[in-house]
Amino acid sequence: MQYESTRENRENCKKLERLIQRWGGQLIRLTGEQFYYIERTPGVSAAPFIADYAVHYEKRQIFCVTPIWYHLIHEMGHVFASPSMKASEYDFLGWEFLLARQLKGVDAWLRSNADYGVSPDADLGGLSKSEVAELLADRVEDGKRQGIIRRGRPVSIRVVQGRLQLTDPLGLLFQQDFSDDSLESGFPGRNLGLHNWRAAKEHFRCRLSHAQRRRNGSNRG
Ligand SMILES: [Zn+2]
């Protein structure tokens, strides 16, 4: 199985998984075959431009075959920083940036978003440094207005057990000492009843068309 096994990726994925759990969600790692079925399951939206990533918005589940931290950040934005699955991902670009910054990974995050469409004619990777800085500052300000960024930190706006989880656990989280054992051991879902997924009869994809995404100011998963 393809596996992004750098120490940085393992550590960042662990931190993000803990955050997902604290926000009432689940990170579920699948084989390619399992993913084939899960992405066809009602309620699951597959990322159109990132291979083998999907979310179940209502259940706050993030599915992937190969966990890579900057892709997880993006899918987390769909699940925890969006009022609905149909919300524009451009609205949480600043939220993603701040989470990447907390992981001290802004450069890698920017590289991974080089083809992120920021206008009908421009991708993030084609902007100058000052243009990127200006755009991200604008996205952060917009995130504050939406309430997905509070006190300079990305927060979850999803209701968990009847209350909003607006506290950001990262400050605490990042003080913890993470061991460096396999990512796999930390992933829930390996023991789910995967055989049931084969029975999923309805095929459902919640994908915005590429053209629609371009109009919304974004072009990726
Ligand atoms: Zn997306």
Render pLDDT for 43-74 as a digit per residue (tens, 0 to 9): 999 988 788 999 999 999 999 999 999 999 99
Protein residues within 5 Å, CB atom, of ion ligand 1: 89, 221
Q: State mean pLDDT over 117-137.
A: 93
The mean-pLDDT minimum among 38-47, 173-182, 205-214 falls in 173-182
Both structure tokens of 157: 């706006």
The DSSP secondary-structure symbol of 174 reads T
Tell me the CA–centroid distance for residue 86 and ligand 1, in Å: 10
Question: In the chain, where are the structural domains located?
Answer: 7-216
Nearest partner of 25 among 61, 52, 58, judged by Cα = 61
User: What percentage of residues in the chain have a pLDDT greater than 90?
Assistant: 63
pLDDT in tens, 72-90: 999 999 999 999 999 999 9
Residue recorded with tokens 């009602």:
42
Q: How confident is the model at residue 206 (pLDDT cuts 50, 70, 90)?
A: very low
Question: Average pLDDT, whole number, for the chain?
Answer: 77
Find the 77 Cα to ligand 1 centroid distance in Å: 8
**Are 25 and 33 in contact, with CB atoms under 8 Å apart?**
no
Burial readout 98-129 (b: 16 or more C-beta within 10 A, e: otherwise): bbbbbbebeebbbebbeebbbeeeeebeebee
Separation of CA 50 and ligand 1 centre (Å)? 8
Token pair for 196? 């049931």
- DSSP-derived 3-state class of residue 168: coil
* Residue 158 near residue 166, CB atoms below 8 Å: no
For position 19, what pLDDT does the model report?
A: 96
User: How much distance in Å is there from the Cα of 110 to the middle of ligand 1?
Assistant: 15
**Interval between CA 61 and ligand 1 midpoint (Å):** 14
Residue 27 pLDDT > 90: yes
pLDDT(191) > 60: no
Residue type, 9: N
The rounded distance, in Å, linking the Cα atoms of 188 and 190 is: 6
pLDDT of amino acid 8: 93
